[in-house]
Amino acid sequence: MKQILLFFLGTAILFVQLSCSKKMTAEQYHQHLLELHTFYKNYFEAFSASSSTSEELEKWNTDFESRKKSDLKLLKTMKASGLDDELHTIYEDIITHIEYSNSHNHREVIIIKKKESKDLEDTSKLNRFYRDTTRYYRSKEELFVEYYFKFINRHHLNADHSLLQLREELF
């Protein structure tokens, strides 16, 4: 009886170790990068556009909150893969920035956008916010593009077409 129990216990431990030790491939890492880039690019575009409504911004914040934990877990897995030392850090910084901004600026912007009439001070705040948000994300996007192309060259992967276009626009 003890031998059977030990056999099953050993088998269970082996399966746990095998499932935990699975490494992320360069292709998987690449796919996750593209997905992260798409979501956060759209998020920041919504927050830097004067045409965005308060409802749209609230939806983006809700989407961010619902995926934040899984994104952080994914970034931890990407870091553990050892495939790249820089790319996951960019998105960790972006998530931290959004968390900070949500507790300060984003909520205020949503409230201002809900108002029927905006005074000069509100308009000035919004314009400053749009400018700062655009600058912040543009700097992160430039870093991302630089490290992304180093990553795909190092791992002999094909670049995403939209990122090829973005590189041409940026540089």
User: Domain ranges in the chain?
Assistant: 26-170
pTM of the model: 0.81
For residue 73, the one-letter residue type is: K
List pLDDT tens digits, range 22-63.
Answer: 589 999 999 999 999 999 999 999 999 989 999 999 999 999
17 vs 148 pLDDT, higher one: 148
CB 58 within 8 A of CB 112: no
115 vs 152 pLDDT, higher one: 152
Q: How many CB atoms lie within 10 A of CB 29?
A: 21
pLDDT band with cut points at 50, 70 and 90 for residue 16: very low
